[in-house]
Amino acid sequence: MTILVTGSTGTIGTQVLSFLDGHGADIRALTRSPEKAEFPAGVTAVKGDLADIDSIRAALEGVSTLFLLAPNAPDELTQAMLALNAAREAGVKGVVYLSVFKGEAYADVPHFASKMTVERMIDAYDLPVTILRPAYFIQNDMRQKDALLGDVYGMPVGAKGISMVDVRDIGEAAAKELLRREQAGTPLPREIFELVGPDILTGETLAMLWSEILGRPIAYAGDDLEGLEQRLKSFGPAWLAYDMKLMMRRYQEDGAIATDEDLARLTALLGHAPRSYRDFAETAAAGWSQG
């Protein structure tokens, strides 16, 4: 039987494929451009797009377990729900769905709300799904390189605190749940995991951490949400820039902090403690110093 991975060429999909590698499962990777994709040996590239239901139906033929990652797009909800329905019709016995941390509380953030609607469908039909709810990705801060080299931490995360998660932990958690569901003889009950990091990170604590790692003073640039939106609009669509601004506003107002129970369950799933922000930052800084 076969595992199908969507979002296979993106940040999370590549991590999922990496952690699945070597475990003996038959892996297919959905991509719009199979001829350009570079996957681990043994991974079969399958042409398809979540926005094209006929291609999804074709890709699901013979698939027993699905990793469903819907893109952050205006029709994200439609794409995710169509894929989930197609998986049900195809007889897929298990799904791992990538949702979001604090989705229910952040009802005014579009991409959070769409993921929670998909969760409502999963709950309503008691589907055999593992729901993974990742917090803000630590690796998003790779985009802070230029700001940090200019002695500023620029992401306006605020002072309430967020428990950022390392994308490697997301990929590993997804792979473990995909393999568990794939190897089971029958569909397994629904599970939910909050994918979070061990640190409570604020703008000021991040600036202090980077100051220590880089060996020079780093200042927090402040909570300017309008400036964030304008920066994001300079290299992406306006709707996405506004969506990200709304998310960051909620981080500033309410924070997104993991509980001890969240961390304990994730530690048990991974078999090790979630990776820290410092682990990422030290590795990133070492790479920057080497050019």
Supply the pLDDT for residue 127: 97
Residue positions counted in the chain: 291
Percentage above 70 pLDDT, the chain = 100
Task: Please write the tens of the pLDDT for every residue from 81-136.
Answer: 999 999 999 999 999 999 999 999 999 999 999 999 999 999 999 999 999 999 99
What radius of gyration, in Å, describes the C-alpha atoms of the chain?
19
Supply the pLDDT for residue 291: 64
Task: Please write the tens of the pLDDT for every residue from 49-78.
Answer: 999 999 999 999 999 999 999 999 999 999
Report yes or no: 225 and 130 within 8 Å, Cβ to Cβ. Answer: no
Phi-psi region of 91 (alpha: psi -120 to 50; beta: other; left: phi over 0): left
Dig out the tokens for 118 from the structure.
């998909």
Work out the angle between the directed axes of helices 203-214 and 277-289 (0-180°, nearest 10): 40
Does position 1 have pLDDT exceeding 80, yes or no? no
Judge residue 7's burial from the number of C-beta atoms within 10 Å of its C-beta, 0-12 exposed, 13-18 middle, 19 or more buried. buried
- The whole-chain average pLDDT of the chain stands at 96
Distance CA 70, CA 77 (A): 8
Domain borders along the chain are 2-135+166-195+259-275
Q: Mean pLDDT, to the nearest integer, of 157-169? A: 98
25 phi/psi in degrees, rounded to 5 = -85, 150
Band (pLDDT 50/70/90 cuts) for residue 289 is confident
- Yes or no: domain 2-135+166-195+259-275 corresponds to CATH 3.40.50.720: yes
Does position 146 have pLDDT exceeding 90, yes or no? yes
Q: Mean pLDDT, to the nearest integer, of 32-38? A: 92
Does position 154 have pLDDT exceeding 70, yes or no? yes
Supply the pLDDT for residue 290: 80
Task: Please write the tens of the pLDDT for every residue from 217-229.
Answer: 999 999 999 999 9
Q: Which of 55-65 are b and which e, b meaning 16 or more Cβ less than 10 Å from the residue's Cβ?
A: bbbebbeebbb
- What's the pTM value of the predicted model, to 2 decimals? 0.97
Judge residue 24's burial from the number of C-beta atoms within 10 Å of its C-beta, 0-12 exposed, 13-18 middle, 19 or more buried. exposed
